[in-house]
Structure 1
Amino acid sequence: MENIILFCLLVGIGSTVILDIWVTVVEKVLGIPPTNWGIVGRWLLGIPKGKLVVDASDTSAPTFIEKALGWIFHYAIGIGYAVLIILFFGAGFIDNPTVLPIFVVGLVLSTLAGLAILMPGLGAGFMGRLLPEWTPMFIYLVVAHTVFSIGQYGFAMLFVYLN
């Protein structure tokens, strides 16, 4: 069990760091802003109050609590995807990582979750359909989640190497 926990922490946190590095580079090179995790925190805090979509009229800067919650959520989700790989494909994946589970969870599932849960929650509509530039956003999302998946595989292989 300890091996599973360590694997999920290493793969989840490591691949999320890789994603964050990627979006930082993209922001510096292309000027595309990263996800505002403070607004995500605001959305999360609104859910228990029955607000399933963040209030777009609230243009105030996110508070420290909103930012902290958003970033904790971001990394918890990264760890959660590593847990899902083990749940869906078994603990044997830890000793013999393969690309298919990473593709299914790290790319397909995480991209769909962003489009079907996060985008609507942030006011962009289901699959981001309310965004004015849908196609570039979709491409950006798929590329970012591909980078995340590569990070998952890399850290899964690192875990094997370290054990």
Structure 2
Amino acid sequence: MWSLVVVGAGATLVMDAWSIWLRLMGVPTLDYAMLGRWGGHWFHGIWRHQSIQEAPAIRGEKKWGWAMHYLTGIAFAFALACAAGPQWLREPTLVPALWFGAISVLLPWLVLQPALGAGVAASRTSRPWLSRATSLATHLVFGLGLFLAAKILA
């Protein structure tokens, strides 16, 4: 179990390094404070926003957002282990991790982005195809991170 926590956190760290690089290149990425703001509004029964940036701020939203981000990465590591079987963790291979990373992009496209006001697969943003490509690439990097973290542990 702890190994999956390490794999998920490690993969999320790889994804964060990628996101930093994207920001340095001028490509916008998700501000995890907005993820925390979204999560904070759940306690008030609000699950969907017209624009998360215009929603009232939540105390500690940045910390909540980063916690949600890493917990999601850890949950995805558990899901991959369930899908690929326990053997994958002992002998990790790249292809299942990349496939899982690619499939995991469905969560932001179908749940997170619509809930934050960006529409399905960022359809309400100014450059939806850039957002989609960035999301897919980021989740593929997350998949690579799953593989690398599992390989280091194995």
After TM superposition, the score normalised by the length of structure 1 is 0.85
Q: Which residue of 1 aligns with 2:12?
A: 16
CA distance in 1, matches of 2:6, 2:112: 24
Equivalenced residues, count: 154
RMSD: 1.9
- Counterpart mapping for 1:1-150 below 5 A: 5-28=1-24, 30-54=25-49, 56=51, 59=54, 62-63=57-58, 65-108=60-103, 110-150=104-144
Partner SS, residue 60 of structure 2: helix
CA displacement 1:89-143 (0-9 Å, x = unmatched)? 22121112123431332221x2111101110111111222111211111111111
> Any stretches of 5+ residues in structure 2 without a counterpart?
none
For 2:146, which of 147, 152, 155 is the aligned residue?
Answer: 152
CA distance in 2, matches of 1:116, 1:13: 23
CA distance in 2, matches of 1:57, 1:64: 15
Distance 1:27 1:57, change over 3 A: closer
Partner SS, residue 46 of structure 2: coil
The letter of the residue matching 1:27 is R
The letter of the residue matching 1:81 is F
CA distance in 1, matches of 2:146, 2:52: 37
Larger radius of gyration: 1
Partner SS, residue 49 of structure 1: coil
Partner SS, residue 105 of structure 2: helix
CA distance in 2, matches of 1:111, 1:16: 14
CA distance in 1, matches of 2:89, 2:55: 44
Give percent identity, aligned residues only.
25
Report the Cα offset of residue 62 of structure 1. 4.5
After TM superposition, the score normalised by the length of structure 2 is 0.90
Q: Which moved more, 1:70-79 or 1:82-91?
A: 82-91
